[in-house]
Amino acid sequence: MINRLVQSAFQTGYLSVESEGLIRQVIAVRGYQTADLSVLEELHQAIYSGKIKREASEFVNFFTMPRP
């Protein structure tokens, strides 16, 4: 699921509030796989560099989550 949400953000250039919320939910229930971490790193870098814009206004750091 995380991979599909991130792919959508790269296709549109935007990370929606809904997609970000779903990513956070998956992380909260530890429903992600190790491969998702590299995808999230790419998303984080794209947001930081301005390649992807966020609808939400507060800063997001997906990497404060616990590791599997």
pLDDT of residue 2: 92
> Would the pLDDT of 38 be above 50?
yes
DSSP state of 50: T
Check: CB of residue 43 under 8 Å from CB of residue 5: no
Q: Which residue has the tokens 């991979």?
A: 3
pLDDT exceeding 70 applies to what percent of the chain? 82
Residue 56: pLDDT band with limits 50, 70, 90: confident
The answer to whether the pTM exceeds 0.85 is no
pLDDT exceeds 80 at position 61: no
For residues 49 and 28, give the distance between their C-alpha atoms in angstroms, rounded to a whole number: 26
> Are 2 and 26 contacting, i.e. CB atoms less than 8 angstroms apart?
yes
Phi/psi zone of residue 60: left (φ > 0), alpha (ψ -120 to 50 degrees), beta?
Answer: beta
